[in-house]
Amino acid sequence: MDSPPSLSQLVETYRFDDVVALWARERLEHDIVVARVLARAVVCDGLRAQSIDGRWANPPHKPVEFHGYPYIGYTARPGSPMSVLRSSALNHLMAVVERGRKPDLGWLHEEFIHRDDFRRWLLEQKLPLPRFWFA
């Protein structure tokens, strides 16, 4: 008989900083190392991170309305799914990757990663699926 899924397997999205903390704990690596890997994944490899989710931002069948922060549509590679990120978050991710700035998870707290996007990126990179999300 199959065992029921763990609660973490039922979670569709985690905030960027939660993925960093959970994956770092599982890998026994420092949060900064994992945050740099994820920043590079978003900026260079096409991992989709989001600041806004159209499913929750507006009523069904209505276009997404952006209120507050300036947002940027970003894709690392042609044909990759587009991320919609706060411009300050994308600037910070690019500074981490291009200029070696120390990742500040406070800047990235509002961004989230969808489970399917994370799985796709991990498989493309030939990385093992982490137990915290895919046990």
* Average confidence (pLDDT) per 10 residues, the chain, 135 residues: 56 91 95 97 94 60 66 87 90 96 92 94 95 89
d(CA 108, CA 16): 6
**What does the pLDDT read at residue 67?**
64
2 contacts 135 by C-beta, under 8 angstroms: no
3-state secondary structure 39-107: HHHHHHHCCCEECCCHHHHCCCCCCCCCCCCCEEEECCCCCCCCEEEEHHHHHHHHHHHHHCCCCCCCC
pTM, two decimals, is: 0.84
DSSP conformational letter for 5 = P
Q: How wide is the angle at C-alpha 16 spanned by C-alphas 25 and 73, nearest 5°?
A: 155
Please report, for residues 20, 36, 84, 101, the alpha-carbon distance to residue 123 in angstroms, rounded to integers and kept in the order given. 18, 19, 22, 27
Domain ranges of the chain: 12-134
**What does the pLDDT read at residue 104?**
94
Structure tokens that stand for 72 in this block: 């940027």
